[in-house]
Structure 1
Amino acid sequence: MESFFENIVFSLREVFSTSPELVIIVGAGGVTAFVLSMYFLVFRKKPEKAEEVVMQPEEKDSHILSEHKEEDVSSDTLQPKAQMYSVDEFLDEREGEVEEVGEEDIEIKQEEIPREELRLEEIKEEIEPQGAEETKQGLFERLRAGLSRTQAGLLGRLDEILSLRKEIDSDLWDEFEETLVMADLGVGTTMKLREAIESRLAKKSLRDPLAIKMALKEEIFSMLKKAEGRALSLDVKPFVIMVVGVNGVGKTTTIGKLAFKLTKEGKKVMIAAADTFRAAAIEQLEVWAKRVGSDFLKGQSGVDPSAVAFDAVKASLARGTDVLIIDTAGRLHTKTNLMEELKKIRRVVGRELEGAPHEILLVLDATTGQNAIQQAKMFKEAIDVTGIVLTKLDGTAKGGVIVAIADELNIPVKFIGIGERLEDLREFRAEEFVEALFLTGKETLH
Structure 2
Amino acid sequence: MTEKKPGFFQRLFGGDQPAPIQPAPPETQPETPVGVPEPVAPTPEPVPEPVPQPEPVDVPPLPGPPETTPDYIEAVEDQFVAPPVATPVPAQRQSWFSRLTTGLKRSSDNLTTSITSVFTKRKLDATTLDELEDVLIQADLGLETAMAITETLRRDRFDREISDSDVRSVLASEVEKVLGPVARPLSVDTTKKPFVILMIGVNGSGKTTTIGKLAQKFAAEGKSVMLAAGDTFRAAAIEQLQIWGQRTGAPVITKPAGADASGLAFDAVTQAKAEGRDVLIIDTAGRLQNRDELMNELEKVIRVIKKVEPDAPHATLLTLDATTGQNALKQVEIFGQRAGVTGLVMTKLDGTARGGILVAIAKKFGLPVHFIGVGEGVDDLEPFEARDFARVIAGEE
Q: Which aligned pairs between 1:118-137 and structure 2 lie closer than 5 A? A: 134-137=91-94
TM-score of the two chains, using structure 2 as the length reference: 0.73
- Say whether residues 1:157 and 2:114 are aligned partners: yes
Distance 2:91 2:236 in 1: 33
Kept in 1: contact 2:110–2:353 (CA 8 A): yes
Quote the RMSD (CA, aligned, Å).
2.0
Q: 1:276 aligns with which of 232, 249, 274?
A: 232
Change (3 A) 1:188 1:431: closer
Q: Hey, what does 2:294 align to over in structure 1?
A: 338
Contact 2:227 2:250 in 1 (8 A): yes
Q: Is the 8 A contact 2:196 2:282 kept in 1?
A: yes
For 2:58, the equivalent position in structure 1 comes to none
Contact map agreement 1:168 1:209 (CA 8 A) in 2: no
Structure-to-structure mapping, 1:1-400, within 5 angstroms: 134-162=91-119, 164-201=120-157, 208-210=162-164, 211-235=166-190, 236-400=192-356
Alignment deviations for residues 132-191 of structure 1 (CA, whole Å, 9 cap, x no partner): x953222211111111111101123213322x1211112211221222122122334423
Contact persistence 2:145–2:175 (CA under 8 A): no
Separation in 1, partners of 2:392, 2:170:
16
Which residue matches 2:377?
A: 421
Distance across 2 between alignment mates of 1:177 and 1:438: 15
Contact preservation (8 Å) 1:197, 1:216:
no
Per mean C-alpha deviation after superposition, the further-off stretch among 189-198 and 264-273 is 189-198
Q: Answer whether contact 2:145 2:174 (CA < 8 A) is retained.
A: no
Any stretches of 5+ residues in structure 2 without a counterpart? 1-89
> Following TM superposition, by how much is the alpha carbon of 1:341 offset from its aligned partner in structure 2, in angstroms?
1.3
* Contact 2:124-2:157 at 8 Å conserved across structures: no
Helix, strand or coil for the counterpart of 1:363?
Answer: strand
Structure-2 residue corresponding to 1:433: 389
Paired position in structure 1 for 2:44: none
Q: Which structure has the bigger radius of gyration?
A: 2
TM-score, normalised with respect to structure 1: 0.65
What displacement does 1:207 show?
5.0
* SS class of match (1:364): strand
Against the structure 1 CA distance between its residues 307 and 157, is the aligned structure 2 distance closer, same or farther, given a 3 Å change threshold?
Answer: same
CA distance change for structure 1 residues 405 and 316 in 2, over 3 Å: closer, same or farther? same
Q: Cα distance, 1:217 vs. partner?
A: 1.4
Give the drift of 1:229: 2.2
Distance (Å, rounded) in 1 between the aligned partners of 2:134 and 2:281: 41
Deviations 1:345-395 (CA, angstroms, capped at 9, x unpaired): 112212211321111000010011111111111111112101111000011
Q: Deviation at 1:270?
A: 0.8
Cα distance in 2 for partners of 1:422, 1:157 equals 33
Is the CA contact 2:318–2:343 (under 8 Å) kept in the aligned structure 1?
A: yes
Q: Deviations over 1:50-79 (max 9, x none)?
A: xxxxxxxxxxxxxxxxxxxxxxxxxxxxxx
CA contact (8 A) 1:286 1:296 kept: yes
Cα deviations by residue, 1:247-269 (Å, 9 ceiling, x for unpaired): 01111111111111111111111
Asked if structure 1 preserves the Cα contact closer than 8 Å seen for 2:123 and 2:160, the reply is no
Q: Is the 8 A contact 2:322 2:354 kept in 1?
A: yes
SS at match of 1:231: coil
Q: Describe the SS at the equivalent of 1:361.
A: strand
- 2:282 maps to amino acid: I
Once residues 215 and 123 of structure 2 are traced to their aligned partners in structure 1, the CA distance between those partners, rounded to angstroms, is: 52
CA shift, 1:408, in A, is 1.0
Match of 1:83 in 2: none
Instruction: State the distance in 2 between where 1:361 and 1:324 align.
Output: 13
Amino acid at match of 2:367: I
Normalized per residue, the structure richer in helix is 1
Structure 1 residues 140 and 349, CA, compared in 2 at 3 Å: closer, same or farther? same
Provide the rounded CA distance (Å) in 1 between the counterparts of 2:157 and 2:182: 25
Q: Would the alpha carbon gap of residues 435 and 200 (structure 1) be closer, same or farther in structure 2, given more than 3 Å must change?
A: same
Unaligned 5+ runs, structure 1: 1-132
Describe the SS at the equivalent of 1:155. helix
CA distance in 2, matches of 1:277, 1:252: 13
Q: What is the Cα deviation at residue 277 of structure 1?
A: 1.9
Offset at 1:439? 4.8
Q: For 1:224-281, what per-residue CA distance to the aligned partner results, in whole angstroms no more than 9, with x for missing partners?
A: 0122123323332211100000001111111111111111111111110112222121
